[in-house]
Structure formats: structure tokens, C-alpha cells
Amino acid sequence: MTLTKHFLLPGSLILLSFSGLAGAQVQAVDFIQLFEKMSGKQPGLRKAHARGVCAAGVFEPADSGPFVSAPLLSQGSLPVSLRFSVGGGNPAADERAPGTRGMGMQISLADGSKHTFTGNNFPVFAGKDPQTFFGFLSTLLPDEQGQRDPKRMADYVAMHPSVQGHYAWLKSAKTPASYANTEFFGLHTFFFQPKDESQIKFRWQLIPEAGVKTLEAEEAKAKPADFLAAKLAEQIATGEVSYSLVASLGEPTDSNIDPSSPWPADRPQVLLGKVRLNSAGGDSCTAINFDPNQLSRGFTPSDDPVLKMRSPAYAISFGKRLSGQ
């Protein structure tokens, strides 16, 4: 039994210009074609992270700390819609495979605004910018015989240092035991501006309160190929599934714009709140566009080029998905 690792970007695709591809301009449609070459055409489905499960719960904000004045943290408990997923564009992806797991979370505020968090279980992104990421994905395409060339990928990684941290993670990644036992990283830098105070720079993480748990290869093989949704529902039914949403506070020397560059592990962390799940399954998240640039009042995105390119890309992909393309 061969289990293939999954490692595509959550959401859909990236809209950008890329002069490194034989001088051509790469647009959103080129990413769609790239994903379809890798996973096959899947009309009406997400072009990446096609296999997933919806969940719902509540966000219980922290009652102290530097973010407490934000509407996100000052309106009491708020409803949350989530989607957990496996990387890749195959809606029947084998959930026993090690590699990428994604999470989209949208919190609905009392005034009707939304705050969206989109993360992955890897701590660093596959490239410092969209161009580098596109090049990395291109090395995953099979040849005319349907085979991938590991050397092609390794050569690309060797020439692009900003991919090396993510590549090292891929090589060591195991199979997550459950979405309820997976940590998710926001990867990008954001800012919060308290009233009459200095701007706060941060990156967020969603940490499972039941602990991070993974499966060894033999343990994974013993599972059904679609075990993750059932496992999540079982854990919600038999006990509380919850996460801590925390923010790591950055220093001026920490990168604002490079999601492949990790911040030092000793940066202080503050609690934004708890996320508690109360149901899983159904299609409540199907019509949600988990755009990480959709932020509530007081929060702003950084100039990270990968983050900036997500909004127009997600909008294009979202429209195609809802129209059955």
C-alpha cells in the first residue's frame, strides 16, 4: 500500500505574475490548470484541499491581554464555522497519507462582520513569495509516463533556500491522528492597532487542547482511507474538542513579508481565546470563502505577497466552484 503525501496550499490558487516561467505571465487560470494536472479536473470542488469536513462551534474570547479591546474579543462568545481538510485537489484523497492538513475558520461578529483564519499543519510556507511557490509546485508534475521526478524537486529546493524549511517538514511529516489533535499555523504576519497605542505585530496558531498526536506508518495503514471525519465526530460526541487560539508577538527584526521565514520560538505568546467544537459534518461550510484577508475591525494584513495574492485568487476559485466549474 502506497500513501502519497499531500502538500497544496489551502483554499484555491494564487493570482500573480511570474516571469520565471519561460518569460510568460502566470495568471489564476494557469494555477487551476496546474492543480488539475496534478489531481485531475474536479468540477464544482475546491481546486486544492478538495477533501474536507465541516465543523461548527463557538469562539470564547480571552478577557485580558493586548488584543482585548478588539471587537473580536469584546463581544462575548461568537459562532464559528470551520472546515478541516487534506492537502491536494483529490476529493477522494487517502486520509492515511502523511503530509498537509488545512483549516479554515470564520468567526461571525455581532455586527455582522466576519473574521477569517486560514492555516496549515506545517510551520513554514513553501517559498518566500508566490513565484517561488509556483516553481516548487511545478516540480511535482508527472512526466509523460505519469511518474514524478524526485531529483527535479530536490534540485529546485537546493537552488531556492526559502523552500528548504518546508521541504524538510514534508520529509519528516507523519499522519495526523485527528483534526482534533492537529496544530494549525497561520504562517502570515498580521497587525492589530489598539486605540491610542502602538501597533501590535503577530502571527497566530491554533493549538489543540487535547495535544498534538500523529500516527506511525503501520498505525495509519490500519485505518480506513476516510477516517478523519468519523474520528472528529466521535471525539465531539464523547468529549470536548477545543483549541487555544494564540498570537505570537513579533519583534521589528522578525519578517513581515516572508511566510517561509519562522520567527524565533521564544517570542511571547498571548491567548486570543478558545475555540470549542459542538458538531461536525454536513455542508454548512461549503459556501464559505475562507479568505484570510477578511478581518474584523482593528486588524490589518501585512504586505506578505503570498497573503496579498490570496484574496483575488480565492474570489476567482470561489466563483468557479459555485458555478460548477
Q: Which amino acid is at 67?
A: F
With a CB cutoff of 8 Å and minimum separation 6, the contacts of 294 are 106, 114, 115, 116
188 a catalytic residue: no
Alpha-carbon distance 170 to 269, whole Å? 26
d(CA 10, CA 8): 6
Other beta carbons within 10 angstroms of residue 197's beta carbon come to 10
Q: How far apart are the first and last CA of the chain?
A: 32
Taking the C-alpha atoms of residue 17 and residue 26, their distance in angstroms, rounded to an integer, is 5
Q: What is the largest CA-CA distance in the chain?
A: 62
The three cell numbers locating residue 277: 467544537
Q: Alpha-carbon distance 180 to 190, whole Å?
A: 25
Q: CA–CA separation, 183 vs 146, rounded Å?
A: 33
Q: With the CA atoms of 47, 48, 51 and 55 taken in that order, what torsion angle do they form, in degrees rounded to the nearest 10?
A: -100
Question: How many distinct helices (H) and strands (E) make up the chain?
Answer: 8, 12
Taken in order 101, 10, 230, 56, is the CA torsion positive or negative? positive
* Residue-level length of the chain: 325
Q: Which of 49, 115, 160, 166 is catalytic?
A: 49
**Residue 105, strand partner residues:** 82, 117
- Whether the Cβ atoms of residue 31 and residue 147 lie closer than 8 Å to each other: no
Strands 175-176 and 241-249: unpaired
Q: Which candidate, 256, 38, 258, 24, places its Cα nearest to that of 133?
A: 258
Residues that are catalytic: 49
